[in-house]
A and B are shown apart, each in its own frame.
Chain A
Amino acid sequence: MKKILSLILCLTMLLSLMGIASADEKIKLQFMGWEASVYETEANKAAIAAFEADNPEYEVEFITGKYDDHHTRLMTMMAGNAAPDVFYMEPCFSRQFSDQGLLLDITETFKKEFEGIELIDWSYEKMDLEGTGVYYGIDSCIVGNIMFINPALFREAGLEVPSTKTAMTWDEMLDYAQKLTIREGDVVKQYGVYGLEDRNTVWGYWLYNGVTWVNENDEVKISDPVKAAEILNKIKALRTEYGVAPAGTELQNSGMSANQMLQTGKLAMVMAGSYSIQELSKMGFEYIAVKPPVFDHDHPVGIVNSSYNCAVWSGSKYPEAAVKLASYLTREDTQLIFVRDGLWMSNRAYLYEPENFDKWMTDAHPEGFEDLVPIFQNGTFIPTYRLLNANLIDDIFTEEFENFFYNDQSAEDTIMIIEQRCAAL
């Protein structure tokens, strides 16, 4: 009897050890992203669960945090040799990392996995930052600024709700904004429009009106300073001359997001990233998205890219597994988890064909959203993101735009100072 008991015990121990051994055999990967909203984290966890279900040999830990600290954390984690295997990489930081050999060259994987898949043109630019055909990240997520509207406020004011089909002209938008700005004495209870003083929005208006800011020698040089200044002045006038827009940074301090202000009727029109669709669709009020207003219909305003590529750390203990995860996270079916939820737009060209709309457009997307498809298809990549000091250049633009919008610096001086400061880098 004792012998049988001993045998059972030994077998149990052996089985437990085998269990431990098999658990240890799982390859543990870390994936780090930033959190635009809690819904993004949920969507990422769903994507990871799908990856783990398809690849039971892997276990993925998802790390998330604020965008503001993301690249700092990443760099310090790399310095400490404890970085995640796969992570979001904002293109404006990408070259600083790739130039130090911190990102894995995943060109071959990309070519293999994406063979026969046609992406929208500017998605290739976003991945091939140096223009050498070497990819240090795979694009999956594209976003851009569009205009969100609370139609109830238009109806209350007896105004016709703007169409999704045709972009408003600047004057039409200004007229709406003036009628939708409500004052009680000196206090503004409702602003007509918000979000146009944002750097990416200004860049969008520059680009689509023929102003670029990087020349053929990769120097920051504003191609048409007169036009650039005119655009800056038009945007600033909304707040300073017409009083129909609050200061951008002021609103961020108020404790309410622009989406919440749109919902609660403090703002009637908001220029914001297309990722807002995810949050707005869950807020339980009627909203629509329209094309950005135009100065003239010959220059329709599309979006300028941002958001991330999925990159792999060159110091990963499991580079093959990490590349597999990065590749999985950028696959169409994974991407569609985010796209259907309204967080991202797809970089697959074929998904923008009308017959494929039903693959990604859901109830999360506002009515008439299909009319906005061309502005994503024809988006433009931010030209400075190709440069090595792109994040520093970003900050210079932000600071000098703030000096223009809030500090009485003239548009002409702003342009000149931006060029001078960038030249000194």
Chain B
Amino acid sequence: MVQKTARKRSLASHDSAWAALFLLPNLLFFLTFTIIPILWAAVMSFTNWKIIGTPTWVGLDNYIEIFTKDPVFWQVLKNTLTFMIISVPVGLVLSFLAALMLNQDIAFKRWYRGFFFMPVIASSVLVAVVWKWMLVSDFGMVNYIISLFGVRGPNWLTDKRFAMPSVVGVSIWKGLGFNMMLFIAGLQNIPETYYEAFRMDSENKVKQVIHITLPLMAPTTFFVFTMSIINSFQVFDLVQMMTNGGPGRNTSVLVHYIYQNAFRYFRMGYASALAYILFFIILIVTIIQYRFNNPKDFSLD
């Protein structure tokens, strides 16, 4: 018996050694390209490093400058929050509605799902270029369609009132399919028996969604919500390609400003400090989400 246990232990430790060996390359990769740069950026945020040369320790100067002397930071933070406040709820609702529709027994639903998912796999650069062209005020397709109804469309990307909504709209359009697929997966996990039980009391579809679907979709919704918030804080590619932060700084978001400081103004230390501020914002928002998220919400009342 003792011999058997010892053998089992030996096999287990043998397996662990093999597992560690196979995990080692990935761990080394993760360490080299993720952990070390994250720690390096933390150190750099306290220096005035300019990509090249020896960094000089400046203590909290970068952080003090960001919070007290840099009006652009507050503007890009406001833009980032605006982006999040519009894109997350609208994207969530639209993708949920799309999922509800495409979870029904309708003809060609697989084709529809495919069409909705197509923008997700398209490159952001391609999407941005196509939409830029479609949103041109005088020669663009969007204003042409609007003009058929006798309305003159605005300058979508150069008018500050429309630039951010335009970028947000394209971002929602691009991400809709992904969230929709997550919702569809969630919807398909809801047992039919709940709906059957509900139908004994009522045939009202809206009430069914409110009382059955929504509560049971809470874990999926929470996941999509959290990911959407994190993604909205990290938006960069569409902004860079569609407006480059303009007009003025009206669509410049935090990551765009970090990029500019790091690679256009060569202020890597300052950019690292901005990146850490972004990191803490996302961390705090995610913690708050988890705090507010009651596990009971995931069950049927």
B-contacting residues of A (Cβ < 8 Å)? Answer: 71-72, 75-76, 78-79, 96, 100-102, 185-188, 246-247, 249-251, 253-256, 266, 389, 391-392, 395, 399-400, 402-403, 405-409, 421, 424
Q: Which of B133, B248, B249, B265 contacts A253 (CB 8 A)?
A: B133
A31 to chain B, nearest CB (A): 21
Instruction: Let me know if A407 and B250 touch, CB within 8 A.
Output: yes
Instruction: Let me know if B136 and A250 touch, CB within 8 A.
Output: yes
Instruction: Let me know if B264 and A186 touch, CB within 8 A.
Output: no
Asked whether any CB of chain A lies closer than 8 Å to the CB of B202, the reply is: no
Instruction: Let me know if A406 and B159 touch, CB within 8 A.
Output: yes
Which 5 residue pairs are nearest across A and B when measured between Cβ atoms? A403-B248, A253-B132, A402-B247, A406-B247, A72-B263
Q: Which of B53, B136, B249 contacts A254 (CB 8 A)?
A: B136
Residues of chain B within 8 A of A256, CB atoms compared? 139
Residues of chain A within 8 A of B215, CB atoms compared? none
Instruction: Let me know if B155 and A406 touch, CB within 8 A.
Output: yes
Question: A250 with B264: in contact, given A79-B51, A403-B247 (CB under 8 Å)?
Answer: no
A100 to chain B, nearest CB (A): 5
A-contacting residues of B (Cβ < 8 Å)? Answer: 50-53, 69-71, 132-133, 135-140, 147, 152, 155, 157-160, 245-250, 260, 263-266
Residues of chain A within 8 A of B160, CB atoms compared? 403, 406-408
A409 to B51, CA, bound (A): 35
B243 to chain A, nearest CB (A): 8
Residues of chain B within 8 A of A185, CB atoms compared? 147
Instruction: Let me know if A395 and B264 touch, CB within 8 A.
Output: yes
A334 to B113, CA, bound (A): 58
Residues of chain B within 8 A of A251, CB atoms compared? 136
B36 to chain A, nearest CB (A): 16
Most buried by A among B50, B157, B260, B266: B266
Question: A186 with B51: in contact, given A96-B266, A253-B135 (CB under 8 Å)?
Answer: no
Residues of chain B within 8 A of A250, CB atoms compared? 136-138, 155, 157-158
Residues of chain A within 8 A of B263, CB atoms compared? 72, 75-76
Residues of chain B within 8 A of A96, CB atoms compared? 50, 266
Residues of chain A within 8 A of B135, CB atoms compared? 253
Residues of chain A within 8 A of B157, CB atoms compared? 249-250, 253
B2 to chain A, nearest CB (A): 59
Instruction: Let me know if A391 and B248 touch, CB within 8 A.
Output: no
Instruction: Let me know if A254 and B133 touch, CB within 8 A.
Output: yes
A79 to B51, CA, bound (A): 6
Residue of B nearest to A251 (CB): B136
B155 to chain A, nearest CB (A): 6
Chosen A-B contacts, 5 in total, with CB atoms closer than 8 Å, are A75-B52, A79-B52, A247-B158, A395-B260, A421-B71
A405 to B159, CA, bound (A): 10
Q: Which of A76, A266, A406, A409 contacts B158 (CB 8 A)?
A: A406
Residues of chain B within 8 A of A405, CB atoms compared? 247
A223 to B266, CA, bound (A): 30
Instruction: Let me know if A187 and B138 touch, CB within 8 A.
Output: yes
Residues of chain A within 8 A of B69, CB atoms compared? 424
Instruction: Let me know if A402 and B140 touch, CB within 8 A.
Output: no
Instruction: Let me know if A247 and B155 touch, CB within 8 A.
Output: yes
Q: Which of A249, A392, A408 contacts B246 (CB 8 A)?
A: A249
